[in-house]
Structure 1
Amino acid sequence: MNTPSWRDRLLLQEDLNFLLTNRIPRLALTRLMGRYSRIRSRWLTRLSIAVWRWFTDLDLSESAQQEFDSLHACFTRALRPGARPFVPDPTLLASPCDAIVGECGPVQGQQVWQAKGFPYTLADLMGSAELAARHADGQFVTLRLTSSMYHRFHAPHDLAVERVTYISGDTWNVNPIALRRVERLFCKNERAVIETRLAADGSRLTLVPVAAVLVASIRLHALDVRLHLGYRGPHAIPCAARYAKGDEMGWFEHGSTILVFVPPGWALADGVAAGQRVRAGQALLRRVPSPAPSAGTAEPGP
């Protein structure tokens, strides 16, 4: 068995990890990181990427470009065409992003779990009792993007975006250590509630990108504004944007989380479980066939 390096032991030490990523001036450092990442300098960007690689498993082999003029350009990099094929089966909902699956499974009434012993309600997360009711007893999947992952997210199915609600908030870290310590963390952080309808049958699908420490900026192609801590526009923004399955919808500017909610009638796709790594385009949820009527309940013939 390989002995963990001192660096790995340091990063995995829970108390220290939580202290260094949460007991800090989170909002100030997040704003500072946003400004730093946009500095246009090839040599500074190369140095920053080298330091980034020292702490993470950053892999740029699939990137559409290999040289970047800012750290922001590397964070939000596009991939080579065809790098993320989307499962074509219309009964399958694809993962919108590269991620590690967190808590997932049935919504219990309107209650969801961020970690064992740490529940939150859909209404608290989404800011709407009406929207929460639409997903009662449905299914949910928590998708956590690490800092080194591909940060763009895509349409998991053919759909139309009807409304985006921006909810300003804090920037707690969203790693498993923080999720086990901070109650209702997703409901406290900055987030965008993206309400959509599937093109096939009009059923609801809601995506909730949640920002985190050092990443409080979300860009959606459906809007002509960037959602970030300094945003002062309307919070509920009507939309009329249509996407085919796999179309790019937007990006984070570091790493964070996307929460996926569907109404009853769906189940987790085969193999989807907490801790699993998924790529954008892989099957995430599957449509559950409606039960066929029994012979005893069939309508009599003429």
Structure 2
Amino acid sequence: MIWWQYIIPQHSLSKLMFRFARLENIWLKNKFTHWFVKSYQVNLSEAVREKVEDYQHFNDFFTRALKPEARKIGSANIVCPVDGTVSQSGEISHATIFQAKNHYYTVSALLGGDYRADQFESGYFSTIYLSPKDYHRIHMPFDGKLVSMDYIPGDLFSVNKATAEGVDNLFARNERVVCYFQTQFGLCAFVLVGAIFVGSMQTVWEGQINPPYQKKVQNFDYTNQNIELKKGEEMGRFNMGSTIVMLMPNQESKLNLSAGQIVRMGESLI
């Protein structure tokens, strides 16, 4: 049942969660985080800080860093950018992306009508969902030079499987941040999609993008800055979990991903 998502105050609830996740009341923070770890079976042994008590607040725990040995960066040209579950992955056909059964959306809609959508008339996409238990930092799947970034306002529907199968244009209607990189494969786009209680995203070069929530598209141009990230380096993070959509132009090797597949950051994709 997803009807309730149409009537609840999505942004107001997300603002409340944003504030709650940053409360520094020790008792409340520890109690809630212990409950979260147990309920979602979070593997804290992978984290740099293994004790709940060592985190300043819940969001500090949620965006936790992992030990270097917890994720090895593969030798392939393309590695997985996040921990998560593959929602869908495949070819971009006639500038259209498969969302879920009987649901499709256009590249242009996903990118907010940006003129660069034409460069993804064909190519490959991968949509990866980050569940509450997952590691929530996003890393570069290959070397890239940052070209620009767009913040696109929108809804904050859930992005789980049931919602993806029931809400038209889900990833193209939710609030999102689009990062464009020039790479060895050509221009690539990484779309960080927000969701209910997940209305906050940040990047390593700009910091927190939202909130505040804006009503207009915001454009950030980095063509005159030399911002380059290597494969495996952190690109950004979700303050609470969500979904990333990766767009790539045509290439010789297809991404080795299939719907429902569990993936880990750093593993080889080709």
TM over 0.5: yes
The structure having more radius of gyration, on CA atoms, is: 1
Q: 1:215 to 1:104 in 2, by over 3 A?
A: same
Q: CA deviation at 1:139?
A: 0.5
Q: State the TM-score, normalizing by the size of structure 1.
A: 0.82
Q: State the TM-score, normalizing by the size of structure 2.
A: 0.91
Q: CA deviation at 1:20?
A: 6.5
Letter in 2 for 1:108: S
- Answering whether residue 158 of structure 2 is matched by residue 176 of structure 1, we say no
1:51-110 CA-partner distances (Å, limit 9, x unpaired): 323542222111111221200101110011232111123xx3111110100111000110
Q: 1:19 to 1:266 in 2, by over 3 A?
A: farther
CA distance in 2: counterparts of 1:29 and 1:267, whole angstroms:
42
- Which secondary structure does the structure 2 equivalent of 1:93 belong to? coil
- Answering whether residue 242 of structure 2 is matched by residue 256 of structure 1, we say yes
- Answering whether residue 84 of structure 2 is matched by residue 99 of structure 1, we say yes
CA distance in 2: counterparts of 1:267 and 1:152, whole angstroms:
26
Q: Which residue of 2 aligns with 1:138?
A: 123
Q: Relative contact order, CA 8 A, sep 6+: which one is greater? A: 2
1:260-289 CA-partner distances (Å, limit 9, x unpaired): 01001154344x2100110011123x4xxx
Q: 1:111 to 1:35 in 2, by over 3 A?
A: same
Q: Which residue of 2 aligns with 1:80?
A: 67
**Contact in 2 for aligned 1:168/1:229 (Cα 8 Å):** no
CA distance in 1: counterparts of 2:252 and 2:103, whole angstroms:
24
- Which secondary structure does the structure 1 equivalent of 2:70 belong to? coil
CA distance in 2: counterparts of 1:149 and 1:50, whole angstroms:
16
Q: Which residue of 1 aligns with 2:150?
A: 165
Query: Where in structure 1 are there 5+ consecutive unaligned residues?
Result: 1-14, 287-302
1:144-191 CA-partner distances (Å, limit 9, x unpaired): 001111000111111111100000111100001001111001111110
**Contact in 2 for aligned 1:157/1:246 (Cα 8 Å):** yes
Q: 1:22 to 1:150 in 2, by over 3 A?
A: farther
Q: Which residue of 2 aligns with 1:220?
A: 203
Root mean square deviation of aligned Cα: 1.8
Q: Which residue of 1 aligns with 2:171?
A: 186
Q: Which residue of 2 aligns with 1:156?
A: 141
- Which secondary structure does the structure 2 equivalent of 1:61 belong to? helix
CA distance in 2: counterparts of 1:269 and 1:226, whole angstroms:
30
**Contact in 1 for aligned 2:185/2:249 (Cα 8 Å):** no
Aligned length: 263
Q: Which residue of 2 aligns with 1:115?
A: 100
- Which secondary structure does the structure 1 equivalent of 2:240 belong to? coil
Q: Which residue of 2 aligns with 1:56?
A: 40
